[in-house]
Amino acid sequence: MLSIGGGAGSYTLTSTNDAQQVATYLWNNFLGGQSSSRPLGDAVLDGIDFDIEEGTTQHWDELARYLSGYSKQGKKVYLTAAPQCPFPDAWMGGALKTGLFDYVWVQFYNNPPCQYSSGNIAKLVNAWNQWNSIPATKIFLGLPAAPNAAGSGFIPVADLTSKVLPAIKSSAKYGGALKTGLFDYVWVQFYNNPPCQYSSGNIAKLVNAWNQWNSIPATKIFLGLPAAPNAAGSGFIPVADLTSKVLPAIKSSAKYGGVMLWSKYYDDRTGYSSSIKSSV
């Protein structure tokens, strides 16, 4: 997804024609269209995320309609949004009524009227129920991952798992995360994580973690590895051990998808992918 907007700078759509031109630009430069100036080259993104926090409320619904219209050209254009939790959102309220948005990750932080506060989940749950009334496919609970990641709204793990999630997970539009079953490919990083990675010839921790990951409702799981010893702090697997020990232990998994390497920079220097290709 390409996220547009943000909480800084100055941006707006000035007219219906402006919305159409922006949609055309995004389609040709980032999605399924063609342009000589594509910043990401041949990479084709899946859609556009609306993080509108500035400007006016005008024409974002039209931009959504124009972008969605390109889905008729063979590749679905996914639309997502990251509104604030006060309902309806000050900038995106009208656009979200179009029913064109697939996933909406609502920011339940930095907004005291609708967020968790000192053990009290009432305001958050009330706002959550309001957001579930919009015509979107899935709603996600947007949270800071640490107390200093936002000004307010951090939820301690214990309260999230014992109070908040039980109160909202029964919602028909609850999106959650990997448990949704909506993810096609999951490349798990089996490095920089000693409890679940290869270490000095020992593959037991990695295989145990691999088997756990294969329980999630995703289409394919990939083994994420560093392509060189210095590409990560830990978790590098020598080619011989990968091909003779690790891959034989995981390739029979129904969801085995392959190996994901970090990164092309290191792989170009070690030739790691070429060395393992015939075994993957």
Known catalytic residues are: 53
**In sequence order, which residues have a C-beta less than 8 Å from that of residue 32 and are 6 or more positions away?**
44, 70, 73, 74, 75, 77
**3-class SS of residue 164:** helix
Token pair in block for residue 76: 């679905």
| Whether the bond into 88 is cis, omega within 30 of 0 | yes
Q: Characterize 174-206 residue by residue with b for buried, 16 or more Cβ atoms within 10 angstroms of its Cβ, and e for exposed.
A: bbeeeeeebeeebbbbbbebeebbbeeeebebb
Got the DSSP string for 67-120?
HHHGGGGTS--EEEE--BSSSS-TTTHHHHTTS--SEEEEE-SS-GGGS-BTTB
Inter-residue contact 113 to 86 (CB < 8 Å): yes
Count other C-beta atoms under 10 Å from residue 153's C-beta: 22
